[in-house]
Structure 1
Amino acid sequence: MANNRIYEQASHDLITNKNRLHKAIQLTFPEIEHLLANPRGKNYWSIVLKFPHPNIVLETKEADIIDFLKSLSGIGEKRANDLAQRLIRLAKLAPKRDLEILKSIPGIAENTALRIISELGDIRRFNNPNQLNAFPSGLYLC
């Protein structure tokens, strides 16, 4: 019985930590989740650790990004070049653009736009307005 409780607690802790990590990624660089087909493997987490924010990607020379990617398991020259190009494109789509788009909506100033982004994360992950409306949030807009 004790071992079962330890197992249940460890499973619960693992899920909680994964959810926290996902939320942190949503706040800093949500686009990176679209870099690889499987955003869960060792290479994905190595990339996230190296480039946790889009500004880091944009401030790094493309050749250095390619060299880093080639150092990962199973990534050759061509794949590293393709991934580097994709990573740079994703970094350029960062939420800063979302802020400008939200501020362009009549009645939404910078403070409200920042609050929307902080509550919802990457708005592009919602496929339609109904999904956005159904999202549980503590943000109330009048």
Structure 2
Amino acid sequence: SHSLHNSHKPETIYHELRELSRYYEDILVHLRKDKVAFRAQLDVVFPGYDTLYDDLYGPVALAVIEKYPHPEMLQKKKINTVSKVIQSKTCHRQAMSDTMADKAIEYSKTIYSGCDKDDIEVLILQRFIKKLKEDMAEAERIIDEMIKLAQELPDFSIIKSIPGIGDNLAARIIAELGDMTRFKKKNELVAFAGLDPRISESGQNDGDHMHITKKGNKRLRCLLYLAVTCSIRLKRDDNSIKDFYIKKKQQSNPMCSKAAKTACASKLVRIIYSMCKTGELYQYNK
């Protein structure tokens, strides 16, 4: 491998991935707080701005609100001026940017802010935007570094071949799995993820729940659950996780969505184990 880390032994890579993964999660916690604070402040200064664009945290929405944090700053602007701001931050074409700019300008004329444009509230909103962007950029940097590291491991391309798992998820799952060779049997890995079924005392299993021990690695469990959720949303046909989910929802005592997803996560971790053991990429079998 000819990357920055070519002198690395696999155990060093696993160690670094785990540490980066912890740090990444820490940033995500900050990001969630940033978003809550930003939205609360936005509701005061520029009410309803979050309804203007599909993604409030995407480059367009952030570029416009950063430049014009108060509706009065936007009202008298020409479409072309605002459009240039959008184009400087995205690769949208002129027409698309004009439409978005026009929408924002027209909207700014219809609402009343909870403060004046020179008030401290506006300044605080700008600070929140700055912090939000910094944390988003840092998260991006860390996940890129994790992907670079994970790409040196054979398991990366294997896990990524599963429908619903992209670079980001594959790197994070590997960071939590660590070196798979330490699991001698499939059930050891299932237990490590805390996805082994718990036997209920009464022997009665209702279809509403899939009782799992919930011991084991909670982070890994969350990531597998996320992977299952992504997988189920896919429009692809060659997807055994989705097949399994549908089966669980349609069996004689159907499972609720959450229980079915948990059952899928348990299946997914078994699939991952087998694939990494044999070194084979994902193959669809009904």
Is this a same-fold pair by TM over 0.5?
yes
Q: Within the alignment, does 1:84 sit opposite 2:86 as a pair?
A: no
Deviation at 1:5, TM superposition (A): 8.0
Higher helix share: 1
Quick check: which has more Rg, 1 or 2?
2
Q: In structure 2, what is the Cα distance between the partners aligned to 1:70 and 1:7?
A: 30
2:54 alignment partner AA:
A
Secondary structure of 2:103's aligned partner: helix
* Counterpart contact for 2:82–2:101, Cα < 8 Å: yes
1:19 alignment partner AA:
V
Correspondence 1:1-142 to 2 at 5 A:
10-95=27-112
Where structure 1 has 5 or more consecutive residues not aligned to the other structure, the ranges are 97-142
1:39 alignment partner AA:
L
Secondary structure of 1:71's aligned partner: helix
> How much identity, in percent, do the aligned residues show?
19
Q: Which has the higher contact order (CA 8 A, sep 6+)?
A: 1
Change in Cα spacing, 1:5 to 1:95, as seen in structure 2 (3 Å) is same
Q: In structure 2, what is the Cα distance between the partners aligned to 1:65 and 1:6?
A: 37
Change in Cα spacing, 1:4 to 1:39, as seen in structure 2 (3 Å) is closer
Q: In structure 1, what is the Cα distance between the partners aligned to 2:98 and 2:25?
A: 43
RMSD (CA atoms): 2.8
Secondary structure of 1:75's aligned partner: coil
Deviation at 1:8, TM superposition (A): 6.3
Secondary structure of 2:101's aligned partner: helix
Deviation at 1:43, TM superposition (A): 2.5
TM-score, structure 1 normalization: 0.55
Q: In structure 2, what is the Cα distance between the partners aligned to 1:19 and 1:35?
A: 18
Q: In structure 2, what is the Cα distance between the partners aligned to 1:77 and 1:7?
A: 36
Q: In structure 1, what is the Cα distance between the partners aligned to 2:89 and 2:107?
A: 20
Change in Cα spacing, 1:38 to 1:11, as seen in structure 2 (3 Å) is closer
Q: In structure 2, what is the Cα distance between the partners aligned to 1:52 and 1:30?
A: 11
TM-score, structure 2 normalization: 0.30
Q: In structure 1, what is the Cα distance between the partners aligned to 2:101 and 2:25?
A: 40
Deviation at 1:82, TM superposition (A): 0.8
Aligned length, in residue pairs: 97
Change in Cα spacing, 1:31 to 1:55, as seen in structure 2 (3 Å) is same
Q: In structure 1, what is the Cα distance between the partners aligned to 2:31 and 2:38?
A: 11
Change in Cα spacing, 1:6 to 1:93, as seen in structure 2 (3 Å) is same
2:106 alignment partner AA:
R
Secondary structure of 2:60's aligned partner: helix
Deviation at 1:4, TM superposition (A): 8.9
* Counterpart contact for 2:83–2:101, Cα < 8 Å: yes
Aligned to 2:221: none
Where structure 2 has 5 or more consecutive residues not aligned to the other structure, the ranges are 1-18, 114-286
Q: In structure 1, what is the Cα distance between the partners aligned to 2:101 and 2:52?
A: 9
Q: In structure 2, what is the Cα distance between the partners aligned to 1:11 and 1:65?
A: 31
Deviation at 1:51, TM superposition (A): 1.6
Q: In structure 2, what is the Cα distance between the partners aligned to 1:67 and 1:3?
A: 37
* Counterpart contact for 1:31–1:91, Cα < 8 Å: no
